């Protein structure tokens, strides 16, 4: 990897359930005020369409006030309806081409690729804006069966230009290892919302670690 690669950035994911939108709005304001956040993924599972709409009504204005794009998990149809900035697709969701048709050329479309460079290359060739590898560590956020080696990030950087996201059980210290391996973004949920010092301190800590890696390159 060359030193010209941009620094790895934090990709924030909402909790899977948000029982109190008012309290979460305060937590989100705090998190986004804590440091650099490249994007926010709205990921509610399970949730009704109306539940997602209600959450988006609270989350979108807060993120936009900070200039943070909002990406909806799984649902290009709702992403288009709600005016989200993009969508993150699992392997069982809509295709990249279908998402692009619904959301337009400027939307940010990412694809979960587990531990497979083959799936990632297919997604990149289909026009994905980023690919996500993981879960790198055990996580209680979702059930996972894939555990890639960080080397997949290094190899991806050597052969592809489409950015890659590392996801899955990432806390502050391992984030630096994944950034050094080649992640363009580290996607974090519980590592921010469950941080003992609060979400602002968590984001600040991630930023410090990721910038430190950039300084070492």
CA separation for the pair 41, 85 (Å, rounded): 10
Cβ distance 17 to 44 under 8 Å?
A: yes
Q: Would you call 110 exposed, middle or buried from its count of C-beta atoms within 10 A (0-12, 13-18, 19+)?
A: buried
In the numeric block, which tokens belong to residue 75? 């649902």
Provide the pLDDT confidence category of residue 10 given band limits of 50, 70 and 90. very high
**Cut 0.85: pTM above it:** yes
In the numeric block, which tokens belong to residue 118? 């083959």
The DSSP symbol for 7 reads: P
For 134-163, the pLDDT digits (tens) are: 999 987 665 556 679 999 999 999 999 999
In the numeric block, which tokens belong to residue 140? 């209680």
Helix, strand or coil for residue 26? helix
Mean of the per-residue pLDDT values for the chain? Answer: 94
Task: Report percent pLDDT > 90 for the chain.
Answer: 90
Cβ distance 12 to 39 under 8 Å?
A: yes
Nearest to 184 by CA among 116, 130, 128: 130
For 44-103, the pLDDT digits (tens) are: 988 999 999 999 999 999 999 999 999 999 999 999 999 999 999 999 999 999 999 999
pLDDT at 19: 96
């Amino acid at each position: 990897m060359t030193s010209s690669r941009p620094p790895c950035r934090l990709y924030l994911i909402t909790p899977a359930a948000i029982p109190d939108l008012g309290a979460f709005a305060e937590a989100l304001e705090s998190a986004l005020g804590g440091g650099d956040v490249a994007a926010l993924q709205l990921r509610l599972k399970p949730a009704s369409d109306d539940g997602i709409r209600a959450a988006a009504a609270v989350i979108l204005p807060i993120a936009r006030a900070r200039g943070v794009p909002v990406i909806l998990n799984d649902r290009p149809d709702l992403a288009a309806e709600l005016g989200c900035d993009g969508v993150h697709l699992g392997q069982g969701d809509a295709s990249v081409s279908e998402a692009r048709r619904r959301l337009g050329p400027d939307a940010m479309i990412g694809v979960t690729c587990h531990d497979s460079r083959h799936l990632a290359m297919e997604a990149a060739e289909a026009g994905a804006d980023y690919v996500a590898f993981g879960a790198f560590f055990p996580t209680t956020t979702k059930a996972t069966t894939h555990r890639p080696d960080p080397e997949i990030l290094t190899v991806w950087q050597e052969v592809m230009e489409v950015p890659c996201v590392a996801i899955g059980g990432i806390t502050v210290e391992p984030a630096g290892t994944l950034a050094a391996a080649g992640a363009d973004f580290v996607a974090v949920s519980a590592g921010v919302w469950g941080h003992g010092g609060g979400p602002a301190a968590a984001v600040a800590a991630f930023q410090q670690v990721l910038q430190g890696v950039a300084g070492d390159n």
